[in-house]
A and B are shown apart, each in its own frame.
Chain A
Amino acid sequence: MTGNFRKLWAGLALAAVMLAALATAGVPKRLVVLSGVVWFASLWFTRMWPTASAVAAPAAARPDTDAAARDAMCAALERVGLPIVLMRGHRIVAANAAAREAFGAHIVGQDARLALRHPDAVKLLYLADGGSVTISGLSGSGSLWQLTRQRIDERYWTIELRDRSAEADIGRAHTDFVANASHELRTPLSAIIGYVETLAEDPGRVDPETTARFLAIVLREARRMQSLVADLMSLSQLEAEKHDLPTERIDLGQMAARVVGEFPAVAPSGRQAGAARPAGPRVVLSRGQEDVGAIGDAKQLEQMLRNLIDNALKYSDSDQPVEVSIARGKRGMAMVAVRDHGAGIAPDHLPHLTRRFYRTDPGRSRAAGGTGLGLAIVKHIVERHRGKLDISSKLGDGTQVTIHLPFAAPAVPVDTAPGPASGSNLAASGQIGTKPGAIAKPVS
C-alpha cells in the first residue's frame, strides 16, 4: 500500500514538472489545464487500482479463504444435529459432525457426487438456483433424505440434509404388522374357537377324557398366541426405535454370563425322559480376559442372545452343548457367536431365515413353541445396533450364528466395572418382571 502512495506522489511531481514545462514552452493555457486535469484524474484512478487487485491477490492464496470459511463453518455448525455440508462448486470443502457421521469423514475435499450419487441429488447439484429434493436409499436401503441446496455467495453453497427415514417407515411398519399378525394369529384362534364350540354345544355328550384333551389343546394354542403377541410387540417396538442409536455401553462378556446363567444346567426333563444326560451346563460360555464392550441397549442385546440360545437349544439334541463365545472381532467390531451341534440347516433355507414367520420345518417349530419371529427380532436388534448378522450352517454339523457389533472401548475409569453392570442388571430384572412371555417360552 505504501508503495502505491510513493508511486502516486512521484506521478504527481512528474505531472507538475511536465505541465510547467508545457506552459513555459508556450502551449495555450486552456490545453495545459485540460491535460493537467486528465493526467491527475488518471493518477487518481490508478490509486484506486488496489481495490481491483485486492480481488486478484487472494486468488493465489485461495486455500486461505477456504480454511477461513472452514473454520467459521466448523465453529458455527459443528455441533448442529442436522447434517450440513459447505460446498464450493461441486466440491465439499467442509462438513459438520452430523454429516461426517452420516456419510463418512472421507467426503470432505471430494466431489459431492461421491457422497450423494443418487441421480436426483446430482441433478440438484447442477441446478443454478439450488432447491430441494427428497431421495431414498442415500445411506443404505430404506433411508429417505431431504436435501436442500442454498447459495451463500457466488462461490459457496450449503447443502442441508434432513433424515426423513423414520417418517417413511411408520406407514410401512404398520401394514407389515397388520398383515403378519392377522395371518399368524388366525391359525391358533380358529383352533381355539373350534374346540370351544364343540365343548359348548352339548356339554353332556363329551366324555371327561376328551374334554381334558380338548382343553389342553385350547390352553396350548392360547399360550402360543400369548407368546406370539409378546414377540410381535417387541418387533413393533424395535421397528419404532430403529433409528435412534442406543447410547449405553454394555460389557458383552458380563451380559452373556448373565443370560447364560438363566438357562438351567440340565435341559428340562419331559421331552425325552430317560435319555442319559451328562451333568453340567448345556450352554457354555467362553470369553477371553479382555473387556469386550459395545454401545447398545441392554434389554435388547439380552433378548437377542436369549433368542439365539433358545433356537440353538431347540434345534439340537438335549445332550449336545451350545457354545456362546464373546471375542474381539476384526475391524473394530465386537463379536458374539452362538454355536450348536444339531442337525444344521440346509443351505436353501439360509437366506430366508430372518424373514418373519419363515420356518424350515413348520411342524417342528410349532411343536417346540416357536413363533417364527425369533430370528427376525434378532435381525432387527442387530440392525438397530448397526451390526452385522451372519448365519453359517453345515448339515449334520450344526449352525453358527455370528453377530458383529461396533466395538466400544472401555469407559472412563470413573464408572468402568460397577457402572454399566449394575445398570444392565436392573434392566434385566425389569424385563423378567414385565415380559414373561418373551423369556420363559412354554415348552409343551
Chain B
Amino acid sequence: MVAEHMVKAFDEEISQMRGLIAEMGGLAELAIGESMEALVRGSQALADSVITRDKRIDALEQEVDKLAIQIIALRAPMADDLREVIAALKIAGILERIGDYAKNIAKRTGKIEGREAFDPLTLIPAMAEIAAEMVHDVLTAYAARDAVGAQEVVERDAKVDAFYDSIFRNLVSFMVERPATITTAAQLLFVARNLERIGDHATNVAEQVYFAATGDYLGDRAERPEN
C-alpha cells in the first residue's frame, strides 16, 4: 500500500490512471480470448466485434497519455510516484500493441479455409492460452505492485517461444506435405507469430511493473535457459 499524499486529488489521479490501465488490460485480455475463439470457430461476427472494440483500447491509451502528462506537468511527481506515472505511460503503449495483435488475429478469421479438417488449428489455442495467462498474470502483478510476480511472468516467456518454434516446424512440414493448404497454414504462422509477440509484450509490461515497484531494472534476459 502506497502512503497517501498531502494533496488528495493527486491520489485520485494516480488511482484513476491505474484504473484506466487495468481497463485497457481487461480489454486486451478479452480481445486475445475472443479473437482465438473467432479464429477456431470461424465466427466472423465475433471477429468483427473484436476489431471494433480495439478502438476503445486506443481511446483509453490517449486518455492515459493525457492524464500522465497532466500529472507530470501539474504535480511534478517524485520518486515512486514518478516511476508509477512513467511506467503507466509505457504500459499503456504496450497494451495498445497487444490489442493490435489480437485484432490482427481476428482479421485472419475469414482467411482460414477447410477449418474442420485442418489439424494445426488445434495447436494454436494451447499457445494462446499460455500467452493470455501471461497477460492476465502481469496485470494482476500490476494491480498488486508485485515485483516477484512480474519476474515470474518474464521467466515464462521461454515457454511461449518454445511453443512458437514447435508450431512453426509443425506448420512448415504440414505445408510441405500438402501444398494446397499453404495459404491457410501461412495465415496460422502469422497468428502464432502474433501470439509470440503478445508473450514478449507481456514480459515488457512485467519489466515496467518491476521497475515501478522497485526502481530497479529487471536483469538482462539473455541468461535464460535454452528451452
Q: Give the most central of A116, A137, A394: most B CB within 10 Å.
A: A137
Q: How far is the CA of A115 from the CA of B19 in the complex (A)?
A: 9
A114→B22 contact, CB < 8 A: yes
A393→B227 contact, CB < 8 A: yes
Shortest CB–CB separation between residue A68 and chain B, in angstroms? 18
B140→A104 contact, CB < 8 A: yes
Say whether, besides A104-B143, A393-B227, A111 and B22 are in contact (CB < 8 Å): yes
Q: Give the most central of B23, B129, B145, B146: most A CB within 10 Å.
A: B23
Q: How far is the CA of A110 from the CA of B56 in the complex (A)?
A: 23
B73 at the binding interface (Cβ < 8 Å): no
B163→A90 contact, CB < 8 A: no
Interface size on B, residues (CB 8 A): 42
A122→B15 contact, CB < 8 A: no
**Neighbour of B163 across the interface among A110, A351, A393, CB < 8 A:** A351
Q: Which residue of B lies closest to A355 (CB)?
A: B126
Q: Which residue of A lies closest to B8 (CB)?
A: A62
B90 at the binding interface (Cβ < 8 Å): no
Q: How far is the CA of A111 from the CA of B169 in the complex (A)?
A: 44
Interface residues of A in 93-117 (CB under 8 A from B): 104, 106-107, 109-117
Interface residues of B in 1-58 (CB under 8 A from A): 1, 15-16, 18-20, 22-23, 25-27, 29-30, 33, 53, 56
B26→A106 contact, CB < 8 A: no
A106→B162 contact, CB < 8 A: no
Say whether, besides A114-B19, A118-B26, A355-B126, A350 and B136 are in contact (CB < 8 Å): no
Q: How far is the CA of A104 from the CA of B146 in the complex (A)?
A: 11
B29→A90 contact, CB < 8 A: no
A171 at the binding interface (Cβ < 8 Å): no
B219 at the binding interface (Cβ < 8 Å): no
Main secondary structure on chain B at its contact with chain A?
A: helix
**Neighbour of A347 across the interface among B129, B133, B139, B166, CB < 8 A:** B166
A201 at the binding interface (Cβ < 8 Å): no
**Which A residues touch B29, using CB under 8 A?**
117-118, 137
Q: How far is the CA of A111 from the CA of B159 in the complex (A)?
A: 32
B148 at the binding interface (Cβ < 8 Å): yes
B136→A109 contact, CB < 8 A: no
Q: Which residue of B lies closest to A116 (CB)?
A: B26
A223 at the binding interface (Cβ < 8 Å): no
A113→B162 contact, CB < 8 A: no
B132 at the binding interface (Cβ < 8 Å): yes
Q: How far is the CA of A347 from the CA of B139 in the complex (A)?
A: 29
**Neighbour of B162 across the interface among A91, A110, A116, A350, CB < 8 A:** A350
Q: Which residue of B lies closest to A117 (CB)?
A: B26
B113 at the binding interface (Cβ < 8 Å): no
**Which A residues touch B140, using CB under 8 A?**
104
B15→A111 contact, CB < 8 A: yes
B59 at the binding interface (Cβ < 8 Å): no
B114 at the binding interface (Cβ < 8 Å): no
Q: Give the most central of B26, B29, B33, B130: most A CB within 10 Å.
A: B26
Say whether, besides A91-B15, A110-B15, A117 and B162 are in contact (CB < 8 Å): no
A119 at the binding interface (Cβ < 8 Å): yes
Residue-wise interface mask of B (74-98) relative to A, using a CB-CB cutoff of 8 A (1 in contact, 0 not): 0000000000000000000000000
B127 at the binding interface (Cβ < 8 Å): yes
Residue-wise interface mask of B (51-73) relative to A, using a CB-CB cutoff of 8 A (1 in contact, 0 not): 00100100000000000000000
A106→B15 contact, CB < 8 A: no
Q: How far is the CA of A405 from the CA of B15 in the complex (A)?
A: 34
A119→B26 contact, CB < 8 A: yes
**Which A residues touch B226, using CB under 8 A?**
347, 394
A117→B23 contact, CB < 8 A: yes
**Which A residues touch B25, using CB under 8 A?**
117
Q: How far is the CA of A134 from the CA of B115 in the complex (A)?
A: 30
Q: How far is the CA of A111 from the CA of B15 in the complex (A)?
A: 6
17 A-B pairs, CB-CB below 8 angstroms?
A: A109-B1, A111-B16, A111-B18, A113-B20, A113-B23, A114-B22, A117-B22, A117-B26, A137-B30, A141-B132, A347-B226, A348-B169, A349-B166, A350-B166, A351-B127, A351-B162, A392-B227
Closest 6 CB pairs of A and B: A117-B26, A111-B19, A114-B143, A106-B144, A113-B19, A117-B22
Kindly list 20 other residue pairs between chains A and B, CB separation below 8 angstroms, not including A119-B30, A122-B26, A351-B159. A106-B143, A107-B143, A110-B18, A114-B19, A117-B22, A117-B25, A117-B139, A118-B29, A118-B30, A119-B26, A119-B53, A136-B33, A141-B133, A331-B148, A347-B226, A348-B169, A350-B166, A350-B227, A392-B225, A393-B227
